[in-house]
A and B are shown apart, each in its own frame.
Chain A
Amino acid sequence: MGATGDLTPELLARSVWSDEDMAAYEIPFKDVPFITIGGGIGSFVTVDYLRIAGVPASDIAVLSNIGHPWQTYEYLTRVSQIPRAERIRSDSSSRPDNIWGFPSYALTEAWRDKSVKHLLNVLTEPVFADFWTPRAGTVFEGLEREAARIGYQDMLVKCAVRMVRRREAGGYFVVGSPEGGPKRVVYRARYVHIAVGYPGLRFLPDLQHFRERYGDYEHVVNAYEPHEHVYEFLKTRPGTVIVRGSGIVASRVLQRLIDDREAHGLGTRIVHIFRTYVDGPHGPVFMRRRGGHGWAYQGFNYPKSVWGGQLKAQMRRLEGAERAALYKKMGGSGANTPWRRKWQRQLAAGRAGGWYETRKGTVDSVVPGAHGQLVSTVGGEEIRSNYIIDCTGLEADIAESRVLADLLEHGGAGRNPLGRLDVERHFEVRGTASGKGAVYASGTATLGGYFPGVDTFLGLQIAAQEIADDLARRGFCRRIGPVRSTAQWVRWLLNRPI
């Protein structure tokens, strides 16, 4: 063992490091009690909670490769056809910039627009109106304001995090590679929070095969990657687009295709392939969900009560296979979409006009055809199209994230019944404790745990609350009681910095 100033293979192979190791290898490190890795909305809401609970900004570091918390979210919503002026699929009182959810987004937009129509919508939803949802822009503006209020930029360190290793005397070492700085930055922390979001895009296997085999990344696209060229092509001449997937993104993409069709009088033809075709309401009487024309309908990506009602309470009690079974019963995230009047009207017009067709089944193969077209084979039928838009999602294995893979290999972390990161009810990653230190995780990596709605604004806040309360039990911060909560809310309302 000799001084190198850098991490050696010998050190990297060991799961537990000590302060002596750092001294022997001459690796400098900084002490920060709480580190959050990711820097997206999951990190943001957790830091927001802690700041409100009285933790000084100097005790927190946000390690991230993005410059502001909504950067990735805004990118993904924009390319999947939700620019700032459009509305996202989220409840009015799910506000990542306000831990109380009051005033709700509807109240804020009503105040700003001096109009009661937003409030009337919330009052009559979902019976007489579609669920009210906020504009993407409203969400980002709120986050910007709150980020400034809590001094977010002062806590942010731009770097790519490589690993979290346990420290012999308790706590952890966190290793990152800073942007344009020294090769390594090492932190010694007592608590680490990981919210790295979606590890990557998931492509349907046959589409991935097509892209790799024919090197064609233009005609087969994922809805979460930039694909404006598809819409531009369709403006120049009539064409056929195959849409795969039956979730919110498929709905958005269809809306864009049909909006363009209506606005520019285009001759776009759409063939929509459903792997699972839902032809009506489904499920037993007490678990019955609306559906029809292929879709399963649901206001948000989970039944609402996962965020605080019956399903949340029920799931919290279940273990292993029973938990996995309830996840399955709920239909999880993904293949469902809200029943919205506009979309119903557009698709009905498409069916009547014969330019929107659906197919049920799986695609056997996709190969290039004549005139630059693509030929998809579904149950023996050949469908020709100019483009295929894969709207099936953002899922990928958690081990594709470098820091999570390392945590699984060296940190003692394991997988839950759905194969994601196994966390306790308070979002501590099971098996990773180190002395008095703890690793927490929130967001999509923890799907399958005691709380289901993890990859949502409200889910991230529920996780943040559990984490903040656990840290209060450990003496790291104060527990936010009614008095502090109210006093801090007034500060929020007046936009007073913390």
Chain B
Amino acid sequence: MLPLLSGRIQTRLFLLALAGSLVTLLLAPLLPGPVKDHFLVLGAVALFGVGWELVYHLLMQFRWEKDWPTLFGLVTAVPEGLVVWLALRPEPLAFCLHFGAVWLAVWLLANGPMRVPFLRWRFRGGRLL
């Protein structure tokens, strides 16, 4: 998928709400603290994420292809995770597990399976609406 800014944001929010929530619910029994804390982390990833997408969109403008390579979608987990952790200071190990699992699920879905139900998504810059 070659993203538009609106597509980036829509895809992120959609996948976090769907896959992110599912992963959080599945992992909740293994993680310390109440479930709502984990959803708070998820909310922060979504909220800060909108800001991050603006930054990525700007950086993408320096690329001739106006693309966002698969690897970028994976490694941006590092700065994003750090910011969320600094903001909420959850238990580090549990956070790494939870955040990592959510990120991986979203990244994997965005790199293929999303195209199965949403046939037009990749041609519309990631927009679902």
Which residues of A does B touch, CB under 8 Å?
Answer: 93, 99-104, 107, 122-128, 283, 285-290, 298-299, 303-305, 307-313, 462, 465, 480, 482-483, 485-486, 489
- Does B28 count as interface, using CB distance less than 8 angstroms? no
From residue 32 to 86 of chain B, which have CB atoms closer than 8 A to chain A?
A: 61-62, 64-67, 69-71, 74
Candidates A93, A299, A465, A480; contact of B65 at CB < 8 Å: A299
Interface core residue of A126, A288, A289, A299 (most chain B CB under 10 Å): A126
Q: Which residues of A contact B62 (CB under 8 A)?
A: 285-286, 288
CA distance A299 to B63 in the complex (A): 12
Are the CB atoms of A486 and B117 closer together than 8 Å? yes
Q: Which residues of chain A have C-beta atoms less than 8 A from B65's C-beta?
A: 298-299, 303-305
Given A107-B112, A303-B65, A486-B116, 4 additional A-B pairs, CB 8 A:
A127-B69, A305-B66, A312-B2, A483-B117
B13 CB contacts on chain A under 8 angstroms:
none
11 contacts between A and B (CB under 8 A): A102-B112, A125-B69, A125-B71, A127-B69, A305-B65, A308-B1, A308-B124, A308-B125, A309-B2, A310-B66, A312-B125
User: CB distance A309 to B112 under 8 Å?
Assistant: no
Q: Nearest Cβ in chain B — how far from A347, in angstroms?
A: 21
State in angstroms the CA–CA spacing of A485 and B118 once bound together: 7
Residue contact B115 to A122, C-beta cutoff 8 Å: no
Contact A290 B116 (CB under 8 A): no
Q: Which residues of B contact A310 (CB under 8 A)?
A: 2, 4, 66, 125
Q: Kindly list chain A residues whose C-beta atoms are within 8 Å of the C-beta of B70.
A: 122-123, 125
Q: A125-B70, A288-B64, A304-B67 are in contact. Are A102 and B113 (CB under 8 A)?
A: yes
Contacts A310-B2, A313-B4, A482-B118; A305 near B67 (Cβ below 8 A): yes
Interface centre among B3, B7, B119 (most CB of A within 10 A): B119
The answer, among A303, A462, A489, for a CB contact under 8 Å with B116, is A489
Q: B92 → chain A, closest Cβ, in Å?
A: 27
With a cutoff of 8 Å between Cβ atoms, the chain A residues found around residue B120 in the complex are 465
Tell me, rounded to whole Å, the shortest Cβ–Cβ distance linking B70 to chain A. 6
Query: Are the CB atoms of A123 and B2 closer together than 8 Å?
Result: no
Residues of A within 8 A of B67 (CB): 303-305, 309
Q: With both chains docked as a complex, state the minimum distance between the C-beta of A255 and any C-beta of chain B, in angstroms.
A: 23
Closest to B3 in A: A309
- Asked if B119 and A485 sit within 8 Å, CB to CB, the answer is yes
Q: Which residues on the A side are within 8 Å of B74 (C-beta)?
A: 123
Which A residues are in CB contact (< 8 Å) with B123?
307-308, 312, 462, 465
A228-B71 Cα distance, complex, nearest whole Å: 41
Binary interface encoding of chain B residues 99-113 relative to chain A, with 1 for a CB under 8 A from any of its CBs, else 0 = 000000000000011
Chain B minimum-CB-distance residue to A104:
B112
Alpha-carbon distance between A289 and B66 when the two chains are bound, in angstroms: 11
Residues of B within 8 A of A309 (CB): 2-4, 7, 66-67, 125
A310-B2, A312-B125, A313-B125 in contact; A480/B119 too (CB < 8 A)? yes
Question: Which residue of the partner chain, among B4, B71, B115, contacts A102 with CB atoms under 8 Å?
Answer: B115
Residues of A within 8 A of B2 (CB): 304-305, 307-310, 312
> In the complex, what's the smallest C-beta–C-beta distance from A452 to chain B, in angstroms?
13
CA distance A299 to B66 in the complex (A): 12
Complex: how many Å from CA A310 to CA B125? 7
Q: Is the CB of B4 within 8 A of A100?
A: no
How far apart sit A465 and B2, CA to CA, in the bound complex (Å)?
17
Question: In angstroms, how far is the closest chain B Cβ from the Cβ of A105?
Answer: 12
Closest to A309 in B: B2
| Contacting pair B71 A127 (CB below 8 A) | yes
Alpha-carbon distance A483/B118, docked complex (angstroms)? 9
Distance, CA A446 to CA B113, complexed state (A):
31
B67 CB to closest chain A CB (Å) equals: 4
Q: How far is the CB of B72 from chain A (nearest CB, A)?
A: 8
Known A-B contacts A310-B125, A313-B4; the reply to A100 vs B119 at CB < 8 A is yes
Contacts of A485 in B (CB 8 A): 116-119
Residues of B within 8 A of A480 (CB): 119
Q: A117 to chain B: closest CB distance in Å?
A: 15
Q: Is the CB of B119 within 8 A of A465?
A: yes
Give the residue among A123, A283, A287 with the most B Cβ atoms within 10 A: A123
Decide: B71 and A123 in contact? CB cutoff 8 A. yes
B112 in contact with A103 (CB, 8 Å)? yes
State the CA gap A176–B109 with chains docked (Å): 47
Q: Which 8 A-B pairs have the closest CB atoms?
A: A309-B2, A305-B66, A482-B117, A304-B65, A304-B67, A308-B2, A305-B2, A102-B112
In the complex, the chain A residue whose C-beta lies closest to that of B113 is A102
Inside 8 A of B71's CB, which chain A residues have their CB?
Answer: 123-125, 127-128
Smallest CB separation, A463 vs chain B (Å): 10
Inter-chain contacts of A313 with B (CB < 8 A): 4, 125
Residue of A nearest to B5 (CB): A310
How far, in whole Å, are A349 and B69 apart by their CA atoms in the complex?
Answer: 30
Which residue in A126, A288, A462 is a CB contact (below 8 Å) of B69?
A: A126
For the complex formed, measure the closest distance between the CB of B11 and the CB atoms of chain A, giving whole angstroms: 12
A128 to B113, CA, bound (A): 25
Q: How far is the CA of A216 from the CA of B123 in the complex (A)?
A: 47
Contacts of A93 in B (CB 8 A): 112, 115, 122
Complex contacts, B124 vs chain A, CB 8 Å = 308
**Chain A min CB distance to B16 (Å):** 19
- Give the chain B neighbours of A311 by CB distance below 8 A: 66
Which of A288, A310, A312 has the most chain B CB atoms inside 10 A of its CB?
A310
- Assembled-state Cα–Cα distance A56/B3 (Å): 35
Contact, CB under 8 Å: B116 / A100? yes
Kindly provide the distance from the CB of B93 to the nearest chain A CB, expressed in whole angstroms.
26
Complex CA gap A202/B118 in Å reads: 40
CB-CB under 8 A for A286 and B61, given A125-B70, A311-B66: yes
